[in-house]
Chains A and B, each alone.
Chain A
């Protein structure tokens, strides 16, 4: 009998966690695709601190390593907005090229690699000078962007070509093309640089690519009892700093899969909200936050227990999330 429900449990655990927590306050920044805003959420109290009006169709979001600036893809305005995290003002723009969707910051924090979905290009931007350093032609509808921890290799996935393109960041040339499953969405390097995990939304899989041989060494599939396979659509992927666990957002399956990176087995499916899209860890790695596009909320998952501990309502169709370092 459903006398106790998951939703009720989430609310209950949330209350306990908030009351007990004395951790450092980090700020989560969530891009809301539909109402052109960024919601700023205190990760300890779960309170919405502020809602910032931004450019049209905000999607990809990241932060400078010193935590001073948020970079935000305003896709329909064909620009990247720079937001000051102190004043919450838009203080500048970067020349992104048309329809920027996702990007990745180099490990030294100096270069931004942007996927331009409409133009089949990856634009390379020098953050300090705001100059375009290169435009790299890639497959059709580039989207996912990952960078190796040493900054030497960048991986871009192309939605229609179904490929992960490995790009040398010195020469800006494609060195390898790896075929993955249908509609690849996201590329995430393991912290030791040995593997790249690429999710495929329509294929329903995550391809694990060996970074030495540049071949798919394993394909992770997902099965959830009572759920049709079409509803399982892997999108965002994040791997813990110790490289042991991976989290995969599964779109309309409304769950995040927790995967053991040694065995590639799914350890758990965590129910979060509707259409789970992207994920971000807090800098202390104690919490991972999911954006749930259709239920218009974000969910905090406790990394130690992999339990959902709190949901916070944000703007309309939350897409991306980033958390400020201390």
Chain B
């Protein structure tokens, strides 16, 4: 008799033979997301002011700026809090220091968060790789089980154990397919935060 479990497996395994889990671009096997892959951000996406001064590139040598970049970039600090922190810092600066210090923070946040984002993108590539390996492993095990089931005198217990394991691994695979949607959104979340932080940094301070 064909059990519900077997039907579930059959359906899932058919879907494994189909191309990637989302409508990815097709030309890049390491990019499973629907969003077009933008491997790195450009500063022009967040900043259209004049070219940042050369000194801004030295932001990591400045202890205060460096510490602020770490703090502000980390998503554990809620965005409104990070924005308040920026405003508070800006208020402590004498007017003549503001342009350079602002530029250093912009460059620092850009370098830091762009790096993080690239790291996430390589992570997504690894994730896609693992999914592909897992899919072919599941397909292999499924056909091996089919062969076993059709063999006379096969060990019923072994079939049961392996079917159970296959079902379990297939569920894990499916869970991972679902999480991909969220994983693919992480680069965008980083971009969103970077843009919001830079926007706060460049807004004119209120008149006193």
Residues in A lying within 8 Å of B, measured CB to CB = 1-8, 11-12, 141, 159-160, 182-183, 201-202, 224-228, 230-231, 233, 251-254, 271, 274-275, 294-295
A8 B192 Cβ-Cβ under 8 A: no
Q: How far is the CA of A239 from the CA of B50 in the complex (A)?
A: 31
Residues of A within 8 A of B39 (CB): 228, 230
Residues of B within 8 A of A (CB): 23, 25, 36-50, 52-53, 98-100, 102-103, 106, 188, 191-192, 195-196, 199, 202-204
Q: Which residues of B contact A251 (CB under 8 A)?
A: 36
Evaluate whether A7 and B37 lie within 8 angstroms (CB atoms) in the complex, with A225-B44, A231-B45 already known: no
**Would B191 and A274 count as touching, CB distance under 8 A?**
yes
Q: Verify B99–A1 contact, CB threshold 8 A.
A: yes
Least CB distance, A218 to chain B, in whole angstroms:
23
In the bound complex, do residue B103 and residue A2 qualify as a contact, i.e. CB atoms below 8 Å apart?
yes
A-B contact sample (12 more), CB < 8 A, given A2-B50, A6-B48, A275-B188: A1-B53, A2-B102, A4-B49, A5-B49, A5-B204, A141-B23, A225-B44, A226-B42, A226-B43, A252-B45, A254-B195, A274-B45
20 contacts between A and B (CB under 8 A): A1-B99, A1-B100, A2-B47, A2-B49, A2-B99, A3-B98, A3-B99, A4-B49, A5-B202, A7-B203, A12-B204, A159-B23, A226-B42, A227-B42, A252-B45, A252-B191, A253-B45, A275-B188, A295-B192, A295-B196
Contact present for B40 and A6 (CB under 8 Å): no
From A1, A8, A252, give the contact of B103 (CB < 8 A).
A1
Nearest opposing residue in chain A for B99, CB measure: A1
Complex interface: chain B residues within 8 A of A3 (CB): 98-99
Contact B199 A226, beta carbon cutoff 8 Å: no
**Chain B min CB distance to A14 (Å):** 12
* A227 contacts B44, C-beta separation under 8 Å: yes
Chain B residue numbers with a CB within 8 Å of A1 are 50, 53, 99-100, 103
> When chains A and B are docked, how far (Å) is the Cα of A219 from the Cα of B36?
21
CA A7 to CA B38, docked complex, whole Å? 24
